[in-house]
Amino acid sequence: MKAMRSLYPMATLGVIVLIWGLSVWAFDVPAFVLPSPLAVGKAIVNNAAILIPALRYTLIEVVIGFTLSVLVGGAIAVAIVSSELLDRSVYPLLVALQIVPKVAIAPLFAIWFGFGMMPKVLMAFLIAFFPMVINTAMGLRGIEVSKLQLARSMGASKLQTFFKIRLPHAMPSIFTGLKLSITSAMIGAIVGEFIGSDEGVGRVLLIANGNLQTDLMFAAVVLLSLAGVILFLAIEAIERVVLHWHVSQRSRDMVVA
C-alpha cells in the first residue's frame, strides 16, 4: 500500500517530464527559452563540479537556519503558551514581522553582515521561524483542559504536565511545523543568495541567468528541488518513527475516507 502511494507522484512526475520533452520537440522551442529534459540532465552532468559545491554550501545555510528556527521558535512558542502577558505582547509582533516582505529585509542583512554565510542563514531562519512558532503553539494549546485538570488533581508539577501531557499531545503539530520550516528555510537561503553572495546555488542561478544558460538554471532548480524533497522526507521518516501511533491512525483514516 505504501509503495503504491509512492508510485502516484512518481508517475505524475514522469508524465510531466514526458509532456515537457514532447512539447519542446513538437514546437521546436529554442533551448534558451525552454531546454529539453535531456539537455537539463546533460547540464547537471557537465556542470557537476560547479553545482555540487554550490548545493553543499546552500544546504549548510538551510540546515543552520532551520536548526535556529526550531530552537528559537520552539522556545518562544513555549513561552507564549506559558504566559498570557507574552501571548498578548509578543504574538502580535510576530504576526507583524511575518507580514513584512522578506525580500525587503534581505538587502539590510547584506549591509549589516556582509556577503558571507551569515545573512543567508538569517534569511533562512527568518522565513522558517514563523511556521515553527505557530504550529508549536497551536499544538501546545490544543490539549483538552480536562487532561490538565486531571494532572493537577493527581499532584503533577507544571514541568511534569508539560513533558508528559502537553508535549506528547503537541508532537503531531510540531512535526507539521518542522516540515513547513525546512522548506521555508530553503526558500530563505536562496532569497539571501539572490541579494548578494559569492557562493551557493542562488549565485549559480544569477550567473546562468546573466549568460542565458537556461539549461544550467533548470539544472540548479532540479537539484534544489531534489534536495528539498529529501530533507522533507527525512523529517517525515523521523515523524513515522517518533509518532508511529499517529501516522498509523492517519493512514487508517485516509483509507476509510
Distance in angstroms (rounded) separating the CA atoms of residues 50 and 48 = 5
pLDDT at 153 over 90: no
Q: Does 254 score more than 50 pLDDT? A: no
- Cell 523529517 identifies what position? 235
> Is the pLDDT confidence value at 111 over 90?
no
* Residue linked to cell 504566559: 83
Mean pLDDT of 76-102: 85
Average pLDDT, the chain: 87
How open is the CA angle 138-141-145, to the nearest 5 degrees? 150
Distance CA 202, CA 186 (A): 11
Q: What is the pTM of this model?
A: 0.87
Tell whether the model's pLDDT for residue 253 goes beyond 60. no
Identify the band that residue 256 occupies on the pLDDT scale cut at 50, 70 and 90. Answer: very low
Q: Please check the confidence at residue 251 and state whether its pLDDT lies above 70.
A: no
Helix (H, G, I), strand (E, B) or coil at 27: coil
Q: What's the CA gap between 189 and 201, in Å, rounded?
A: 9
pLDDT for the residue 257: 47
For the chain, give the percent of residues with pLDDT over 90. Answer: 51
Cβ neighbours for 167, distance < 8 A, ≥ 6 positions apart: 140
Q: Using alpha carbons, select from 113, 98, 99 the residue that is nearest to residue 195.
A: 113
pLDDT at 68 over 50: yes
pLDDT tens-digit readout, 160-199:
888 888 888 899 999 999 999 999 999 999 999 988 778 8
- Contact 247/240 with Cβ under 8 angstroms? yes
* Distance of alpha carbon 22 from alpha carbon 15, whole angstroms: 10
Report the pLDDT value the prediction gives residue 57, as an integer from 0 to 100.
96
Reduce the secondary structure of 57-105 to three states and give it as a string: HHHHHHHHHHHHHHHHHHHHHHHHHHCHHHHHHHHHHHHHHHHCCHHHH
